[in-house]
Amino acid sequence: MSEHNLLDVLKERIETELPAVLVKRGYEYYQEGRVQSTQTTMHRTLTGVVRGSDLYAVVMDADHFRYSTCTCPFGGFCKHMAAVFFQYFSETRGREAAERVYFRMLGLTMASEIWPSAARSAPQEAIAPEQPADARQQRRAPGEGGTAEEWMDWMEAEYGQTWLKCRHSLHALQPVLSALKGLSRDWEKPMQRLHWSTSILFVLEQSERAITTVDSFSRYYHEMSFIRMAEPWIEHLQTLIGELEPQHMSEEQLAWSGVLIGLAKRRALHRDRQLFEWGFLYLAFCERFSELRDWFHNEKMSLLSELASHPDGELNEEFVYSSLGMLYFFEGDDARSIQYFAQGPFEKIQKLIYPCVAQRMELGEWAWTERWMSFLYERVYANRSARSIGPFMALCRRADEDRPDLPIWNTYMTELLPYSYTELSEHWLSVKRYEDWADLQLFVGVKAEELNAPELREVAKAVPQALLPLYHQSIEAAIATRNRQGYRVAVKQLKKLEKLYKGMKDTGKWDTYLAELVNKTQRLRALQEELWKGKIVT
């Protein structure tokens, strides 16, 4: 079989067996140079080595593709196979041919095939094949000199109907995003970041449109699916935002950024239920631009104006209050930050507040840390549950480790019992407050046999006397069951208690305690038998 025939057959097999998302990931691996080697054998087989989280060996049999294998843990036809295919295709037919076959495998057409001059004058782009040729020729990408508005208009005209294909999945948007990013791959980094951010925001808006077509009965499941699919896009957008350098931006770049910030803000202001946390994207931009004092002041005034100009019920006040809280925090005005956070629903804004408090701890600003923690405690206590107090307990534990001289942290943790039991128990062990740990078990009613053996050994080695009440309580509770199984538990705990007394060199107290116990329970014949079997008494 010739090289050309081998590739043609493998192309058909990969198109048939691999979903588009794996083809796309394989192409990305090829572009990133992850394919270490490729080789054909006389048995119509293509082999290769791909660097992923490990090195994976790929074997693709053109005649019997079902026997193709990869040593990765995926367990089937995988992205590493697609990567080896594209690498070998590029080596034998050229890089442009590999790119062309990739677009065709995704059901797209490259601009260079429609406009031959485009391959020489502009980056290549993907066009949905169902569009009329005349329409495609009228839609030239704005290029690196285009504005944010021009690019957004072009994206809408070119791909604005893609959401109609996303009734059950967002997979139709992945090749669109890849194609849009490809248009600016040769741009200077500052402009490329802005263009890629625009591209991601565009596909996120397409996703928001798509979810509106889902019936109410299945919306929840589609939301979960859509959000998981979009997670890498949002993570990449947050990375791009974090790389922005407002102080070094040109006027054009600042204007472009303003359009993106305005888009996220408009979305966040909607009261309608939406897929994504647009408010968090808006605040990510704000954090980067907070170093521009004039911009920052104007943005605060804009939000305050929104509050003043909209009647109750017409504005997403939750977003506005939380945004003002964050903007004042970025500015270092903690008092006003708390003031605005206090006006929003705590269950919605608490995930914004916790990082603020952690930052104040890191900076050693303990006066403000105490103020923030008091603000949090009032709201956590009012809505306390095992599920809601986790982040607050984490802050308390950290504060107690850094400033153990301030008793307020332990006060907060104990007052949240029993919901705080697990975190508090772990904390007191970690800071070696063994007596407090033992008292906590007694207070909550945890029995010695229910505790982890390593924890009991740690406490017994450090302060064995702290465990005596715990074992006494456990033994009494086991005897009170008045059944054979309970008596056996009591005997086991008696053996451990005896060991504790002997380790403390206080066998006299042990002998006294045992004598009183035997005398008190002499009518419980089954217990007496278990004591004898366990050699507690002779």
Helix (H, G, I), strand (E, B) or coil at 213: coil
Mean pLDDT of 134-142: 60
281 residue type, one letter: L
How far apart (Å, rounded) are the C-alpha atoms in residues 364 and 207?
42
pLDDT at residue 314 in the model: 65
Helix (H, G, I), strand (E, B) or coil at 58: strand
pLDDT at residue 483 in the model: 94
Please determine, for residue 214, whether its predicted confidence score (pLDDT) is greater than 80.
no
Please determine, for residue 120, whether its predicted confidence score (pLDDT) is greater than 60.
no
- Strand-strand pairing, 45-51 and 69-70: unpaired
| Helix spans in 3-78 (H) | 3-17, 20-31
**Across the chain, what does the average pLDDT equal?**
87
pLDDT at residue 137 in the model: 39
Helix (H, G, I), strand (E, B) or coil at 136: helix
Helix (H, G, I), strand (E, B) or coil at 60: strand
Mean pLDDT of 91-95: 89
DSSP string, 457-523: HHHHHH-GGGGHHHHHHHHHHHHTT-SHHHHHHHHHHHHHHHHHHHHTT-HHHHHHHHHHHHHHTTT
Helix (H, G, I), strand (E, B) or coil at 406: coil
- Residue 442: which of 408, 417, 462, 423 has the closest Cα? 417
Residue 491 vs residues 87, 507, 524, 530: alpha-carbon distances, Å = 70, 17, 14, 7
pLDDT at residue 136 in the model: 40
Contacts of 113 by beta carbon, 8 Å cutoff, 6+ apart: 100
Helix (H, G, I), strand (E, B) or coil at 48: strand
* Phi-psi domain of 453 (left: phi exceeds 0; alpha: psi -120 through 50; beta: other): alpha
Question: Residue 404 corresponds to which tokens in the numbers above?
Answer: 């153990």
| Helix spans in 94-172 (H) | 95-105, 111-114, 118-121, 133-137, 148-159
- Residue 184: which of 148, 159, 160, 138 has the closest Cα? 148
Please determine, for residue 491, whether its predicted confidence score (pLDDT) is greater than 50.
yes
How far apart (Å, rounded) are the C-alpha atoms in residues 305 and 286?
17
Question: Residue 264 corresponds to which tokens in the numbers above?
Answer: 């996220």
Mean pLDDT of 513-536: 92
pLDDT band at residue 76 using 50, 70 and 90 as cut-offs = confident
What is the DSSP code (8-state) at residue 249?
Answer: -
The answer to whether 271 touches 212, Cβ cutoff 8 Å, is no
- Least confident range from 35-39, 112-116, 481-485: namely 112-116
Mean pLDDT of 524-533: 92
- Strand-strand pairing, 35-41 and 126-127: unpaired
pLDDT at residue 386 in the model: 72
The answer to whether 56 touches 45, Cβ cutoff 8 Å, is no
Please determine, for residue 436, whether its predicted confidence score (pLDDT) is greater than 90.
yes
Return the top range by mean pLDDT from 100-104, 346-350, 400-404.
400-404
Q: Please report the sign of the dihedral spanned by the C-alpha atoms of residue 150, residue 151, residue 154, residue 155.
A: negative
Contacts of 109 by beta carbon, 8 Å cutoff, 6+ apart: 103, 126, 127, 128, 129
pLDDT at residue 17 in the model: 84
How far apart (Å, rounded) are the C-alpha atoms in residues 127 and 132?
10
pLDDT band at residue 431 using 50, 70 and 90 as cut-offs = very high
pTM: 0.63
How far apart (Å, rounded) are the C-alpha atoms in residues 17 and 10?
10
Mean pLDDT of 273-289: 92
- Least confident range from 93-97, 135-139, 432-436: namely 135-139
What is the DSSP code (8-state) at residue 448?
Answer: G
Q: How many CA atoms lie within 13 A of 516 on its CB side?
A: 8
Please determine, for residue 24, whether its predicted confidence score (pLDDT) is greater than 50.
yes
Please determine, for residue 116, whether its predicted confidence score (pLDDT) is greater than 80.
no
Question: Residue 340 corresponds to which tokens in the numbers above?
Answer: 């605005």
pLDDT band at residue 291 using 50, 70 and 90 as cut-offs = confident
pLDDT at residue 125 in the model: 43
Q: With DSSP H G I counted as helix, E B as strand and the rest as coil, what are the percentages for the chain, rounded to 5?
A: 70, 5, 25
- Least confident range from 170-184, 347-361, 377-391: namely 377-391
Residues 228-258 as b or e (16 or more Cβ within 10 Å = b): ebbeebbebbeebbeebeeeebeeebeebbe
The answer to whether 429 touches 455, Cβ cutoff 8 Å, is yes
pLDDT at residue 139 in the model: 66
pLDDT at residue 311 in the model: 63
Please determine, for residue 474, whether its predicted confidence score (pLDDT) is greater than 90.
yes
pLDDT at residue 313 in the model: 61
Please determine, for residue 187, whether its predicted confidence score (pLDDT) is greater than 60.
yes
How far apart (Å, rounded) are the C-alpha atoms in residues 131 and 42?
43
The distance from CA 112 to its chain's CA centroid, rounded to whole angstroms, is: 39
Please determine, for residue 127, whether its predicted confidence score (pLDDT) is greater than 60.
no
Residue 170 vs residues 162, 166, 179, 198, 211: alpha-carbon distances, Å = 9, 5, 15, 18, 10
The answer to whether 58 touches 81, Cβ cutoff 8 Å, is yes
pLDDT digits (tens, 9 = 90+) for 292-323: 889 888 988 988 888 777 666 667 888 999 99
Peptide bond connecting 418 to the previous residue in cis, omega within 30 degrees of 0: yes
| Radius of gyration for the chain, computed over Cα atoms and rounded to the nearest angstrom | 33
Q: Residues for the chain: how many in total? A: 538
Mean pLDDT of 205-220: 84
